[in-house]
Structure 1
Amino acid sequence: MRTVADLSKLEQEIVHRNPAEPEFHQAVREVLESLGPVMSKHPEYADAKLIERVCEPERQIIFRVPWVDDSGVVHVNRGFRVEFNSALGPYKGGLRFDRSVSLGTVKFLGFEQIFKNSLTGLPIGGGKGGADFDPKGRSDGEIMRFCQSFMTELYRHLGEYTDVPAGDIGVGAREIGFLFGQYKRITNRYESGMITGKGLVWGGARVRTEATGYGTAYFVDEMLAATGGSLDGRAVVVSGSGNVAIYAIEKVHQLGGTVVACSDSSGYVVDHDGIDVELLRELKEVRRRRIDEYVEQRPTATFVPDGSVWDVPCQVALPCATQNELTEHGAKALVAGGVVAVAEGANMPCTREAVHVFRENGVAFGPGKAANAGGVATSALEMQQNASRDSWTFEHTEERLRAIMHDIHQACHETAEEYGRPGDYVLGANVAGFTRVAEAMSAFGVV
């Protein structure tokens, strides 16, 4: 039987084996802390070393990406794809183009993706990828040439039954188009199911753009409903102002809540009348401007260049920007401001210390692997439509999304109760996600 001490020793071994990868260490630690009761109930998992195998990627691909800018200057970036676990289906996870991307970043995201994808109940494994390339300020031609060079190497590892990437930070519809075009050119196949996040006229799915933000709002509404409440009438704060944040704000408003603040790297805006989603979308997605310009068209709003968006009092908080953005200090400010529920729209946006503050103060906390699973769930629905040469309506797809988020919440809630920790969504998500993967891995033998 695996003891807590055994799991602690395993954590130390993983840290030693994967040096200088703090985000990956953090993600592994958070999962291992939940698995003691599972090992007691299923000693066969320990005998087969399932945890060790889940924590080790099946394949790690690192490659050179040379490209030429508009001035004829050659640049060299580094590309990554970590194919982490395929027990439930083809590897599935986004591509991130950002200067911060490293092997450790991609491994942390890919590891989280295993459990997130498992929780959807859909047949998809976990993976992640990207490059240390920043598309900001680059021309369409430069981005096209980078994407073509990136795909020229990566294409040999992809396929609708092998590995299916999608977008992430720095990779939107434009980049997905360039990547798919190069894959199609090299392979001479119109294999639309090999990538998701596509345009609607060439195999994309309705609701995919909105899915992560919508799903986060649905999940927090389910969390509130579990204790007899809802989003209706609640003051909500959302960090970020990108795709996830925009559509989380939109769905919160549709569910009766009022988002009173959101942010970007330059500061945050407070609008007690409710954030104007159309104005925010125009500024951030169309004009690609900073959020301080929001107040120029909304005299009721205030822009705060310093401080933290978490200083704004609210009952619900949705961190939707990036990893480790919500620290212990921010968590304490939220608790003091009356927060009752927090759901992660981004991947691991709350530090370990922040999560501890929430759990110690009885705040319902939805981890990203559960709360933001709507994006990858809708990607899997896109794969279904591609496989059947079909296209669903917005209403039908959104209904599928809402049902999936309901099922994810139910799985987390019931699993937490089963293991004697009612209301502990961290344990519920980790155990429910791990168990499904473990059962498949056990069935396949030692592979």
Structure 2
Amino acid sequence: MNKNKAFWISLIATSSVAITFSALSFNKYQEQKTIDKYKKKRKKLKTIPPRRTKFIRDLATKRVNRVLSTLQKRDPDQTEYLQYVSVVTRSLSPLLMKDLKYVEALERLIEPERAITFGVAWVDDNGIKHINRGYRVQFSSSIGPYKGGIRFDPKMNLSIMKSLAFEQTMKNSLTALPMGGAMGGADFDPKGKSNNEVKNFCHAFMSELFKIIGPNCDIPGPDIGVGVREIGYMYGMYSRLTAQTNGALTGKRYNWGGSRVRTEATGYGLVYFLEYMLHDNNIPLKGRRITISGSGPVAQFAVEKIIELGGIPLTMSDSDGFIYAKNGITLDLLKKIMYLKNVERGRLESLSEIVEYYGDKQRPWIVPCEIALPCAYQNEIQGKDALNLIQNGCFAVAEGSNISSAPEALKLFKQYNLLYAPGKAANAGGVAISGLEMSQNSIKLKMDPQDIKMSLRGIIYNIFEACRTAAQQFGDNDFDYSSGANIAAFLKLANCLFDEGII
């Protein structure tokens, strides 16, 4: 007996074949067996019994919680990313409850394909050396090559980068153009830097970034802190390093490969989406009092288009405060703001003698309005800001910046039935025109500006229709454009993963 015991112990210890199942795999195996059993019963029934519906919902909830719990354990310090994934997942609930295979797609999609960090060494005008951290998160290439902006912001970290890259992936999916999603940047602050210092940093940044980008794999573009000046410096270094002049970057000046309407596209597209959303609810845009944050290209051209369509833009802001024109920002005032920001690179405070100015980093959400257009940073509308807007008569919010509204604000929008257009849908105009710039660079031809403007309107309308259709199909509120946007974008991405055999 003792010999037999020793034999079996030895066999187990020395065996070269060990079959193991993780707890997660075993649970999925058991769940699938139960699902298959229900499917066999369903074939004999004409309708789905309530018991099955409850079972699928409970099982989907259990799996989703498991996915989020795993993500929380893996990246407990990535607060912004965890927050973003949680918000998106909640809005996907109607789809996830309908078909459990989409939970597996969610599990795959929330992990980026590649997240890269690198050091950026550069020298300022005083000869002092600096080291910043650069990022590129290549989130998904299932629909096409990676596409997404470069952002220079001293607050940048990997968690914010992943949030923005996921948002960009969803946004690109909605455009129906063949683009994957990515985001990049650095914790560099261009404010107060000379042109030479910005050039030195951009050259150093591209010296690392060029290794992972190209016209057929990853095509970065501009974002906050990065405009045509910065894109020009980066493109110059890319051309020197690769001996190529191609479409590896978008947002270029028109005379060396850029597209007409690119600078205006995000702001114009934002107002087009707002217009469609209001029309869908029988509300005219003309005469509406609108608060806008930001004073970069998105805010500038949103204001321009609002004036053209008869709306009344009241505010614009920068990181120090905001201006408030009680009777509306005029075209003359807008031209002064454009010159101040685009040429002089100054602060709005310098306009305090000709327009009302609120400093101390105040935000424009304290101003009574009917519509709010956040066009600055992520999470710029917090819960208290949302309450201010609601109490002051605001009934619609459309995001010109990515992830403009914090989760507490989103809850209040829903509670008080505000019309809400998320950034992934409302500010997709910029990346849509970037997609057209990619096409123009590939065929070495230029499109007529009027054709581009018509294409922009058409793309934004199609995005709006996709959001509305998904909301009607999966939601309990036909005007929940936020859930509709998330579901429509996610469905396309998930189905691509299934078609390509990735899941």
Aligned equivalent of 1:385: 440
Q: What secondary structure is seen at the aligned counterpart in 2 of 1:134? A: coil
Indicate the RMSD between aligned Cα atoms, in angstroms: 1.4
Question: 2:321 & 2:116 partners in 1: Cα distance?
Answer: 37
CA deviation profile, 1:299-351 (whole Å, cap 9, x unmatched): xx321225541111111100111111111111111111111210011111111
Is residue 2:278 matched to residue 1:224?
Answer: yes
CA shift for structure 1 position 34: 1.7
- Deviation of residue 148 (structure 1)? 1.5
> 1:43 deviation in Å?
2.9
Aligned match of 2:265 in 197, 211, 214? 211
Question: Do the aligned partners of 2:138 and 2:182 also contact (CA within 8 Å) in 1?
Answer: yes
Separation (CA, whole Å) in 2 of partners of 1:337 and 1:41: 39
Q: Report the 3-state secondary structure (helix = DSSP H, G, I; strand = E; otherwise coil) of the residue aligned with 1:3.
A: helix
Q: Where do 1:269-348 residues align within 5 Å?
A: 269-275=323-329, 276-296=333-353, 298=354, 301-306=355-360, 307-348=362-403
Alpha-carbon distance in structure 2 between the residues aligned to 1:139 and 1:308: 28
Q: Of the candidates 439, 442, 446, which is equivalent to residue 498 of structure 2?
A: 442
Cα distance in 2 for partners of 1:77, 1:277 equals 35
Shift of 1:36: 2.1
* Distance in structure 1 (CA, Å) of the matches to 2:392 and 2:102: 43
Matches of residues 38-437 of structure 1 in structure 2 within 5 Å? 38-46=95-103, 49-191=104-246, 193-275=247-329, 276-296=333-353, 298=354, 301-306=355-360, 307-420=362-475, 421-437=477-493
Match of 1:23 in 2: 80
Structure 1 range deviating more: 378-387 or 139-148: 139-148
For the pair shown, the structure with the greater C-alpha radius of gyration is 2
Structure 1 residue 87: Cα displacement: 0.5
Shift of 1:175: 1.0
Give the number of aligned pairs.
441
How many Å apart are 1:15 and its aligned residue? 2.1
Mark the runs of 5 or more structure 1 residues left unpaired by the alignment. none
CA 1:123 to 1:332, structure 2 compared with 1: closer, same or farther past 3 Å? same
Point out the more displaced range, 327-336 or 134-143.
Answer: 134-143
Contact 2:293 2:363 in 1 (8 A): no
SS of the aligned residue for 1:137 comes to coil
The one-character-per-residue Cα deviations of 1:167-220 (angstroms, maximum 9, x if unpaired) are: 1111111111111111111111111x1110001110001111111111111111
| Structure 1 position 380, deviation (Å) | 0.4
Between 330-339 and 430-439, report the one with greater CA deviation.
330-339
How big is the shift at 1:272? 2.3
The letter of the residue matching 1:54 is L
Where 1:185 maps in the other structure, the secondary structure is: helix
CA distance in 2, matches of 1:236, 1:168: 24
Aligned partners of 2:152 and 2:189 also within 8 Å:
yes
Matches of 1:151 and 1:285, distance apart in 2: 23
Does the Cα contact within 8 Å between 1:107 and 1:128 map onto a contact in 2?
yes
Query: Hey, what's the Cα distance between the residues in 1 that align with 2:135 and 2:388?
Result: 37
Counterpart CA distance in 2 for 1:140 and 1:259 is 32
Which of 70, 90, 93 aligns to 1:33? It is 90
Which segment is superposed worse, 271-280 or 243-252? 271-280
Aligned amino acid, residue 220 of structure 2: P
Point out where structure 2 has 5 or more consecutive residues left out of the alignment.
Answer: 1-55
Q: Deviations over 1:106-130 (max 9, x none)?
A: 1110011110000011100010001
Structure 1 position 9, deviation (Å): 2.9
Distance in 2 (CA, whole Å) between partners of 1:34 and 1:65 is 38
Q: Measure the CA separation in 2 of the matches of 1:71 and 1:283.
A: 27
- Tell me if structure 1 keeps the 8 A contact 2:269–2:456: yes
Q: Contact (CA 8 Å) 1:374, 1:405: kept in 2 or not? A: yes
Question: Secondary structure of 1:194's match?
Answer: coil
The separation in 2 between residues aligned to 1:67 and 1:293, in whole angstroms, is: 31
Q: Cα deviation per residue 1:360-391 (whole Å; 9 max; x = unaligned)?
A: 11110011111111111111011111111111
Output the amino acid matched with 1:259. P
Q: Distance in 2 between matches of 1:265 and 1:167?
A: 19
Query: How much identity, in percent, do the aligned residues show?
Result: 45
Counterpart contact for 1:83–1:126, Cα < 8 Å: yes
Following TM superposition, by how much is the alpha carbon of 1:226 offset from its aligned partner in structure 2, in angstroms? 0.4
**TM-score of the pair, normalised by structure 1:** 0.96
Structure-2 change in CA distance of 1:71 and 1:295 (3 Å): closer
1:392, CA displacement in angstroms?
A: 1.9
TM-score by length of 2: 0.85
